[in-house]
Structure 1
């Protein structure tokens, strides 16, 4: 299979499947990407950068508020650009989940 044929097939996948593939590929590259994990008892079981307590929804909300990726990487120096790519891919694949958890966290007083 050529790269072009593979790309064509990948583009036809669902957002969730694309996110899974991005995470799998990132783990095989030496980019430092940790992937996304959901662990009961850690951040309420919400999706986080693997091995951290940095919730994907928190990064998404920060981005929605206009915080740049450069600022996020400065604010969270123990994550990498690859971690942000994974977070954005996860968020893109699970928009309802992100909206619900952001809404729920904003309702807490």
Structure 2
């Protein structure tokens, strides 16, 4: 895809989709994710919400089981809506990593 083609697609996005696209692009530049951290020895080294022991894969799996964002915020009172949004952006950017973590932890 050329930049010209990409521009047309980006301009067609809704405002909220544009925000997500900007967030993904900014994070990919530094390969760092605001609010997401990986630390060897913490949560098995899986991506997690910064300053917590809540892995992204746990939130994704909860969502698959029918939990809404509101349910997650109630279940994890230390999380904010921004944390949830960051988790979804990360999960969308790295679906294979998240799926692998889910599989690995289901087998454990």
TM-score (norm 1): 0.71
| Greater length-normalized contact order (CA 8 Å, ≥ 6 residues apart) | 1
Count of residues in correspondence between the two structures: 90
Cα RMSD of the aligned pairs, angstroms, is 3.0
For residues 90 and 22 of structure 2, what CA distance do their matches in structure 1 show? 10
Gaps of 5+ in 2: 1-6, 14-19, 29-33
Alignment of 1:1-109 (within 5 A): 8=10, 18-19=23-24, 21=26, 35-108=35-108
Q: CA deviation at 1:41?
A: 1.1
C-alpha contact 1:48 1:54 (8 A) present in aligned 2: yes
With the length of structure 2 as denominator, give the TM-score of the two structures.
Answer: 0.72
Which runs of 5 or more residues in structure 1 are unaligned?
Answer: 24-33
Segments of 4+ in structure 1 off by > 6 A? none
